[in-house]
């Protein structure tokens, strides 16, 4: 072939490159169109009809589109191949009765340096919104959701809830899951993804009293927890109660720092999706659902165990807030609170909901609310926590260490193998003092120096970090 030289050759070379780029661009557009067409033509499962009595569509990853990901024989979503470090799964379109908001939650095993990110978009008036993210999640570092409100003309992301624009309704949703790993030999394992939508009382059942259901659930009070976070941890504290019911001995403070959304200031421990992901790390299933009635709630109690319900209320008509009245509630008013529903009973000709309300005093966490009032205060969102028959529960890992040195900014720990572990004080979340398996006090990180001078060797000291670790001091 004759070589091309000079200005004419240069122009010819650029023309060849431009033609190649054009072909590549057309190919990319055709591929994008083919994916969108495939999504549009795929028969969408009706989300509301596919929901179980537990109020959420649970993905099984048998349909959809896989790019660098695959479904295992056990039904898990993982990276495809040992050398794959990034992949994405696209769900089919999930059709639904018109809804105003959606919450996605997930369970995943995330070894060191692996991450999971869930995104979704909604269809409104025949148009698809932008993709909205629930943030990158893992169980080995300080994680966070989007740290600012993200929105377009069709929807807005509010921490853990994708809300349709005011005055509009969505009729479909689709999601995608990104899996990533810094190391070529590791992969996150997504074991569950749940989609819960608020489509109103489309399957409302009247509450009919049946045989009483009352579950014995351990009672924890926020006022007895770490004072530095006590007023903010109704969600992880409720989750700790439910986990202990199922046999996982996690402390409220351990649960709180595992579930914390480090991107949020107002509700740092209240991210519903993060709470469920953190709870599932102990070997149970945990997900957000939207239930329509107390009858459905009763069925969940009977089949799964205690349910954590989202409520908003004022405890008296005299309180000026425009909130439902819930007589007997421990706080004057709240526009966002979580309680453990552990029973439904009939007494004195009335129906009652039996709860563990973490806002109560240590001797009054266990309460009962009139069923009609509770249903009005209930947002109909719940956490469902289920223990599978073959599930292997994992207890919180508490790493034995010795406290060697304390400075103004850091401490030095020593592991059982003699390794030195430096830990900055700002990365310590809670210091829990325990005796005979009971929590008896808390320390602030800056007081650790005094601990070295006055060791109480008959006590157990737990250092719960913001990176989801717990160190147990030994002497």
| pLDDT tens track for 73-108 | 999 999 998 889 999 999 999 999 999 999 999 999
The contacts of residue 47 (CB under 8 Å, 6+ apart) are: 57, 94, 95, 96, 173, 195, 197
| End-to-end Cα distance, the chain | 81
CA dist., res. 316 & res. 323, Å (int):
10
pLDDT per position as a tens digit, 330-339: 999 999 999 9
DSSP summary character for residue 325: B
In this predicted structure, what is the pLDDT of residue 453?
64
In this predicted structure, what is the pLDDT of residue 147?
72
Task: Give the residue with greater pLDDT, 407 vs 34.
Answer: 407
Q: What are phi and psi of 336, to 5 degrees?
A: -175, 110
pLDDT per position as a tens digit, 5-37: 333 333 334 444 344 444 344 344 333 343 443
CA dist., res. 35 & res. 29, Å (int):
10
pLDDT per position as a tens digit, 157-169: 999 999 999 999 9
Helix (H, G, I), strand (E, B) or coil at 253: helix
pLDDT of residue 61 exceeding 50? yes
CA dist., res. 381 & res. 341, Å (int):
12
Residues 416-429 have a mean pLDDT of 95
Residues 241-266 have a mean pLDDT of 96
Pairing of strands 470-473, 398-406: parallel
Burial 362-375 (b: 16+ CB within 10 A, else e): eeebebbbbbebbb
Q: What are phi and psi of 332, to 5 degrees?
A: -60, -45
The candidate with the shortest Cα–Cα distance to 309, out of 234, 252, 221, 215, is 234
pLDDT of residue 1 exceeding 50? no
In this predicted structure, what is the pLDDT of residue 9?
38
In this predicted structure, what is the pLDDT of residue 10?
31
DSSP summary character for residue 390: T
In this predicted structure, what is the pLDDT of residue 391?
85
Min mean pLDDT across 4-8, 226-230, 275-279, 452-456 is at 4-8
Q: Is the distance from CB of 466 to CB of 142 less than 8 angstroms?
A: yes
Confidence of residue 259 (pLDDT cuts 50, 70, 90): very high
CA dist., res. 473 & res. 475, Å (int):
7
Distance of CA 273 to the CA centre of its chain: 2
In this predicted structure, what is the pLDDT of residue 24?
42
Maximum distance among all Cα pairs of the chain, rounded to whole angstroms: 101
Helix (H, G, I), strand (E, B) or coil at 303: helix
The candidate with the shortest Cα–Cα distance to 115, out of 132, 136, 145, is 136
Is the CA virtual torsion 319, 323, 329, 334 positive or negative?
negative
In this predicted structure, what is the pLDDT of residue 51?
62
The candidate with the shortest Cα–Cα distance to 229, out of 219, 241, 237, 218, is 237
CA dist., res. 257 & res. 473, Å (int):
18
In this predicted structure, what is the pLDDT of residue 470?
97
pTM for the full predicted model:
0.88
CA dist., res. 404 & res. 452, Å (int):
9
Number of residues that make up the chain: 475
Is the CA virtual torsion 207, 211, 213, 214 positive or negative?
positive
The mean pLDDT value of the chain amounts to: 87
In this predicted structure, what is the pLDDT of residue 420?
97
The contacts of residue 255 (CB under 8 Å, 6+ apart) are: 236, 237, 239, 240, 243, 278, 279
Q: Is the distance from CB of 242 to CB of 259 less than 8 angstroms?
A: no
């Amino acid at each position: 072939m004759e070589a091309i030289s000079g200005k004419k050759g240069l122009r010819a070379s650029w023309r060849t490159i431009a033609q190649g780029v054009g072909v590549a661009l057309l190919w990319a557009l055709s591929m994008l169109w083919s994916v969108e067409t495939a999504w549009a033509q795929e028969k969408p499962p009706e989300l509301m009809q596919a929901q179980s009595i537990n109020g959420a569509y649970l993905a099984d990853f048998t349909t959809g589109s896989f790019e660098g990901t695959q479904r295992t024989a056990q039904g898990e979503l993982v990276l495809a191949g040992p050398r794959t470090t990034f992949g994405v799964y696209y769900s089919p379109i999930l059709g639904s009765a018109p809804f105003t908001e959606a919450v996605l939650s997930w369970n995943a095993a995330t070894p060191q340096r692996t991450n999971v990110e869930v995104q979704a978009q909604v269809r409104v008036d025949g148009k698809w919104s932008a993709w909205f993210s629930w943030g990158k999640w893992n169980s080995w570092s300080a994680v966070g959701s989007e740290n600012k409100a993200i929105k377009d003309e069709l929807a807005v992301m509010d921490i853990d809830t994708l809300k349709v624009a005011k005055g509009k309704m969505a009729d479909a949703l689709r999601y995608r899951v990104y899996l990533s790993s810094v190391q070529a030999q590791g992969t996150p394992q997504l074991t569950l993804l749940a989609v819960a939508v608020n489509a109103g009382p489309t399957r409302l059942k009247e509450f009919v009293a049946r045989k009483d259901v009352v579950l014995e659930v351990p009672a924890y009070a926020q006022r007895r927890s770490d004072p530095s976070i006590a007023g903010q941890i109704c969600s992880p504290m409720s989750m700790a109660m439910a986990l202990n019911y199922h046999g996982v001995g996690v402390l409220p403070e351990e649960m709180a720092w595992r579930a914390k959304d480090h991107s949020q200031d107002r509700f740092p421990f209240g991210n519903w999706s993060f709470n469920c992901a953190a709870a599932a790390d102990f070997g149970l299933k945990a997900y957000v659902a939207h239930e329509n009635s107390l009858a459905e709630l009763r069925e969940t109690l009977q089949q799964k165990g205690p349910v954590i319900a989202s409520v908003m209320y004022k405890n008296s008509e005299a309180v000026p807030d425009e909130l439902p009245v819930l007589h007997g509630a421990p706080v004057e008013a709240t526009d966002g609170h979580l309680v453990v529903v552990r029973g439904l009973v009939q007494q004195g000709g009335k129906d009652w909901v039996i709860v563990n309300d973490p806002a109560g005093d240590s001797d009054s966490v266990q309460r009962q609310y009139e069923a009609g009032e509770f249903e009005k205060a209930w947002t109909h969102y719940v956490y469902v926590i289920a223990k599978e028959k073959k599930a292997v529960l994992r207890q919180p890992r508490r790493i034995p260490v010795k406290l060697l040195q304390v400075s103004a900014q850091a401490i030095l720990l020593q592991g059982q193998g003699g390794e030195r572990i430096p830990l900055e004080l700002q990365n310590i979340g809670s210091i829990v003092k325990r005796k005979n398996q009971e929590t008896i006090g808390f320390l602030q990180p800056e007081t650790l120096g005094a601990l070295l001078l006055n060791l109480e060797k008959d006590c157990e000291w737990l250092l719960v970090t913001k990176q989801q670790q717990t160190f147990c001091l030994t002497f």
